[in-house]
Amino acid sequence: MSFFKALCGICYSPKLDNSLWQYQNGVLLLKKEDYEKQNSMGVYMTDGGLPNSVLLFCGDDGVLYAIKNVCSHMHRKIDPIPGSNTLRCCSIMHSNFDYSGRKISGPASRNLVVYDLSQEGNDILIKIN
C-alpha cells in the first residue's frame, strides 16, 4: 500500500455502484454476479440508507464475508490483503484483523463487526445489525 494512499485513507477496494444493491429492513441485497464483475477481492457499499459502509470480500479461503467497513481507531476503511488471510485498514498505522474480525495488531481499540451473510441462488443477503 502506498504511503500516499495510506496518508489519505484511500482504500484499494472499489465502491460498488449504488444502483447494484439495495438496503431495506436491515438487509443489504445484491447479485453475486455484480460483485464478481468488479474483478476485485473486495468491494464496498455506502450511503443508500446504510447505517455505515459495508465491505464485501471473498477471502483466501473462498468464503464470502461482509464486515462493517470502519476501523475503530480513526474510522478508516478496510481492505482484504490477498494471500494473507487478513484484513487491514487503510491508514498509516494499519491495524490488521483476521476474517472473524479479531484484531491481530495495530492501534484499533475494537475488533471488526462481521455481519451475517447468506446466499440464495444468485442473491447475496447481508444482515446489518
Positions in the binding site for ligand FES (CB under 6 A) = 71, 73-74, 76, 89, 91, 93, 95, 106-108
Considering the complex, state which of residue 31 and residue 73 has its C-beta at the smaller distance from ligand FES.
73
Q: Provide CB contacts within 8 A for 75, sequence distance 6+.
A: none
Minimum CB separation of residue 119 from ligand FES in Å reads 29
Are the C-beta atoms of residues 96 and 103 closer than 8 Å to each other? yes
Minimum CB separation of residue 16 from ligand FES in Å reads 22
Considering the complex, state which of residue 66 and residue 108 has its C-beta at the smaller distance from ligand FES.
108
Minimum CB separation of residue 91 from ligand FES in Å reads 4
Is 96 exposed, middle or buried, given 0-12, 13-18 or 19+ CB atoms closer than 10 A? Answer: middle
Considering the complex, state which of residue 5 and residue 32 has its C-beta at the smaller distance from ligand FES.
5
Minimum CB separation of residue 26 from ligand FES in Å reads 26
Considering the complex, state which of residue 34 and residue 98 has its C-beta at the smaller distance from ligand FES.
98
